[in-house]
Structure 1
Amino acid sequence: MHFEQANRATGRLVTTGEVGASGASDSELTTGRFDGQDGHGGEDGHGGKGGQGGQGGQDGRGDQPWFELWNVQQGLWLQHQLGESRADSNLPLWQHLHETLDLAAFRKAVSFLVDRHQALRLSFQDTADGPRQRVLPVHDLDVPLVDLTGLADPEAEVDRLIRIESATPFDDLGSPPVRVKIYRLASDHHCVFVNVHHIIADGTSMGILLRELLLCHRAFAAGEEPPLAPLPKTFEAFVQDRQQWLSGTQSKSMETYWLDQLAAPLPRLRIGDYEAPADDVVNETLEFWVEADITEGLGALAKELHVTLHILLLSAFVVALRDISSDDDIVVCVPFFGRDTKDLDGMVGNFVNPLSVRMKMSGSDAFDDVVRRARSASIGSYANSRYPFTRLLEQVDAEARPGRNPVFSSAFQFTRFLPPAKQTSQLDLCLYGRPDGERIKLRFNYNSRRLAESEIREVQSCFQAVLRRILGDAAISLDSLSEPLRQARRTMRAAPRDGRRLGRLRGSRSTTPDA
C-alpha cells in the first residue's frame, strides 16, 4: 500500500528525544528516549494508569476541563486568530483503495478512532487565562460519500475536488478540526480523504490515522474487533505531564543549555533580499539529485567518519551556507518528530518542537572537523530537545522581526520521505533530502520573495561542489574550498533581479579577504 500524496510530514518544526550516553552514534539519536525519566505517570480519564474505556477511547465521559495549549499549538492558535494562511495549517492526506468498501464499517471505523484519540475531539477557545483546549466527551463526525461513478472521468474530478478540499481552511476551531470524505470512482475503486488542522496533529499522526482507519474498516467489515492495543496515555495527560516537567530540574538544565547555545549575537543568514517584507511569503521549490556514484562515495565516507548521511549532508549544507553568506556562524533548524517517550508512538497529536544546530567555523577548519562538530552539536541538541521552543523564544536575546523566526532562517532534513512540494514555511530556505534508489533526491523549499531561483541554484551548486570535493579529500580546509565554490557559483549567476545583484547583501568575513 502506498500514499498517493505524502502527508505533511514535519509540520512546522520538529525535534526528537534524549541521547542517554555520550558515546551514542548519531544513527541512534533518532531513537533517543526519555522513558523512565519523567517521574510522572500518564493517567487516563478514569484516574487509572493507561486504561481506556468504551471502544478504545482515551478518557471518561462527562464535563471535560479546559487545559493549556502545548508548545507549537500556541503559535498555530495565534496564526489562526490573526487569519494568517489558514489553509496552510491543513494536513490533507488521501488514499486510493482498489477494492469494495463497506460504508457502514468505514463510518464505524471513523467513530472508533475519534473515540480512541483525544486529539480528534479537541475544541479550542480563547479565555481570560489565554487560549485553552478541552476534549469533547463525544464527537459525531459526519463522513459523506461522494459518488463520482456517473462521470466520464471520475479520476480527474476527484483530483479537482481534493485540491479544493485541501485548500479549504478550518475557520472554526471551537469544533474538532477534522474532515473525512469518501469518493466512489467505481464499485471497486474508492478514494479516502482525511484533512485535519495542524494544531491537533503532526505528519506522524496522519500516518497513524490512515493506517488505523484502514485496519479498523477491514476488521469491522469482517465482523471483528480491530486488533489495536489500548493507548497507554492520553493527549491531555501528555500536556499535563509536560507542564509539570517544566518546573523540574531537568527542564532548568535544558533551558541553560539552549540559552548558552543561542547566546547573542545570533547570526542572520544574509543571502537574498534579507530586507524583503517579512509577511510576504511565496514558496517555490527546486529539486535535484545526487547521482549514484557520488551517493556511493558519500555512504562510504559517512562510515569512515562514523556518522550518518544526515550528519554528512548537514555539514556540507552548512559549509555551503557559510561560503555563500560570508558568515562563520550558522544556525540551522533540523526538523525531527518529537515523540520522545514510547507511550507517544501510536498517539495522534502535535508533538513537534524546533531543534537548532549552531555551527561556528573558520577558514582553517578541515571539513572532517566540521562533520565531527556537527555530530557533537546534533547530539547536544537532541539530548536537550524536550525544552519547548516557544518558551525559549521568551528568553533568548534575538532581534524580533514580524513574520520571521528570530533564531534561524534555514532548515535541513534527511529522512525517508519529502514533505509536500508546496509546503509553506516562514523560513527563507529549507533543504530536504531522502534516499532514492541508488541516488539521493533533494529539494529546496524557498521564499521567492526573498530569494531568486538563480540564487537558490547558486546554493545548490555550492552544496554539490562541496560533496564532490570532500570525496577526494575529507580533510580539505574551508579556505581551500573557497575557490572551487566560487567557481561553482559563477556558473549559476544570473542577471540582476529588481535592481539587486546577487551577493549585494552578503556580509564580509575577515578571514576571507576577497569575499
Structure 2
Amino acid sequence: LDRLFARHEALRSVFVAPQAKPRVEILPPDAGLPVSEHDLRQRADTEAALSDLCHEEERTPFDLARGPLIRGRLVRMSDEEHVFLLTQHHIISDGWSMGVLVRELSQLYRAFEGGQDDPLPPLAVQYPDYAAWQRQWLSGERLQKQAQYWREALSGAPSMLALPTDRARPAQQSFAGASVPVVIDVDLTRDLKRLSRQHGTTLFMTVLAAWAAVLSRLSGQDDLVIGVPSANRGRREIEELIGFFVNTLALRVDLSGEPSVSELL
C-alpha cells in the first residue's frame, strides 16, 4: 500500500485554498498510506461488528486540505479470515483507476510476499503532468472553439426529461439516488452485436439508441439529452495512471419524425 501510495502522485494530492486561491499540493512519497486495524476475533457478533465498521468507514469524511485522500482498514475476522476496506475520495480516482489500483496492488503483494523487488515499471508521466498539458491545450482559440461547439449542440435543449412518475418532483432537488441493475444475457448481447455490425455502429451506439428510444416513448419527447461518462483516456501514457480522468458528455439525440430503428442507428 505504501509503495502504491508513493507510485501515484494523484493518491498523494491534497487540495488547499490559501487566500481563496485553490491549488493542488503533493504529499511526500514516504508519507505512507494510513491503515487502521481492527481485531474482531473475540467478538460473538463479528458480522454485525463488521457491518458497523463498514458504515462508520463510509460516513467518515476526508480532509481535502490535509489528506491523505485514500485510507485503509484491515479487519481480522478470525485467524484465517480478514476483510480489507480501501476508501478513496472521488476527486483523486475514477472507475478506470480502480482496475489499475487492484491490478498493481495484486502484483506488488505477490512480489513482496515472495521476497522479490517491486515488479512495476516506472510511470512515464504523472497526473499533474496530464493536468498541466490539459490546461495548456484547452486554452485560447481552441477553448473558444470547443465551448462554441457545445453551445450550438445544446442550444434549445430541454432542461429536464418529463418522465411519468408516481410522485411529483420535489420542490428542491436532493441528488439522492439509487441504482437499478440490468443484466443483458448472452443471446441478446450476440444479437445486439450482430445488429451493430449490420449498421456499422459500435455496441455502445446501438445500446444508446435503444435507451433514447425507450426514454422518448416514456416521456413523449423527441429531443433528448443523455449524460454519458467517458473514460477520457485517449493517450497510451495515461492508461496506467490512477486519477480523476472521467468526463461526462451530454449527448443530444434527435428522434423527431418517428425514425425507424435503422434510421436512428
Sort the TM-score into its range (normalised by shorter chain).
Answer: 0.7 to 0.9
Structure 1 contact 267–329 (Cα < 8 Å) conserved: no
Q: Is 1:277 matched up with 2:171?
A: yes
1:25 is matched with none
Structure 1 contact 178–195 (Cα < 8 Å) conserved: yes
Q: Is 1:367 matched up with 2:258?
A: no
RMSD between aligned residues: 2.5
Find the residue that maps to 1:144 and give its secondary structure: strand
1:126 is matched with 17
* Shift in Å, 1:189: 2.3
2: distance between equivalents of 1:129 and 1:170?
19
* Shift in Å, 1:123: 1.6
User: 2:74 is aligned with what amino acid?
Assistant: I
Find the residue that maps to 2:22 and give its secondary structure: strand
Structure number with higher helix proportion: 2
* Shift in Å, 1:214: 2.8
| CA shift digits 1:110-154 (9 cap, x unpaired) | 221111111121121123353221112242333222222233453
* Shift in Å, 1:184: 1.9
* Shift in Å, 1:225: 1.1
1:201 is matched with 93
1:432 is matched with none
Q: Is 1:339 matched up with 2:200?
A: no
1: distance between equivalents of 2:49 and 2:168?
42
Q: Is 1:239 matched up with 2:131?
A: yes
Q: Could you say which structure has the greater relative contact order, defined with CA pairs below 8 angstroms and 6 or more residues apart?
A: 1
Find the residue that maps to 1:365 and give its secondary structure: coil
1:320 is matched with 214
The TM-score with structure 1 as length reference comes to: 0.47
* 1:473-488 correspondence to structure 2 within 5 Å: none
* Shift in Å, 1:331: 0.6
Find the residue that maps to 2:125 and give its secondary structure: coil
1:342–1:320 Cα change, 3 Å: same
2:28 is matched with 137
| CA shift digits 1:27-85 (9 cap, x unpaired) | xxxxxxxxxxxxxxxxxxxxxxxxxxxxxxxxxxxxxxxxxxxxxxxxxxxxxxxxxxx
2:62 is matched with 170
* Shift in Å, 1:285: 3.9
* 1:97-496 correspondence to structure 2 within 5 Å: 110-128=1-19, 130-138=21-29, 139-152=31-44, 154-247=46-139, 249-271=141-163, 272=165, 275-290=169-184, 294-371=188-265
* Shift in Å, 1:310: 2.2
2: distance between equivalents of 1:294 and 1:332?
23
User: 1:144 is aligned with what amino acid?
Assistant: S
* Shift in Å, 1:292: 5.7
1:291–1:213 Cα change, 3 Å: closer
Find the residue that maps to 2:57 and give its secondary structure: helix
2: distance between equivalents of 1:220 and 1:188?
20
* Shift in Å, 1:234: 1.6
The TM-score with structure 2 as length reference comes to: 0.87
1:236–1:281 Cα change, 3 Å: closer
1: distance between equivalents of 2:64 and 2:184?
44
Find the residue that maps to 1:151 and give its secondary structure: coil
2: distance between equivalents of 1:229 and 1:248?
36
1:295–1:348 Cα change, 3 Å: closer
Percent identity over the alignment is 32
* Shift in Å, 1:274: 7.1
2: distance between equivalents of 1:293 and 1:247?
47
Structure 1 contact 267–330 (Cα < 8 Å) conserved: no
- Unaligned runs of 5+ residues in structure 2 are none
Find the residue that maps to 1:231 and give its secondary structure: coil
* Shift in Å, 1:295: 4.4
* Shift in Å, 1:179: 0.8
1: distance between equivalents of 2:101 and 2:187?
38
1: distance between equivalents of 2:236 and 2:187?
38
User: 1:312 is aligned with what amino acid?
Assistant: T
1:294–1:349 Cα change, 3 Å: closer
2: distance between equivalents of 1:294 and 1:224?
46
* Shift in Å, 1:221: 2.4
* Shift in Å, 1:244: 0.8
Structure 2 contact 222–255 (Cα < 8 Å) conserved: yes
2: distance between equivalents of 1:204 and 1:289?
21
User: 2:196 is aligned with what amino acid?
Assistant: A
Find the residue that maps to 2:139 and give its secondary structure: coil
* Shift in Å, 1:275: 4.9
User: 2:174 is aligned with what amino acid?
Assistant: D
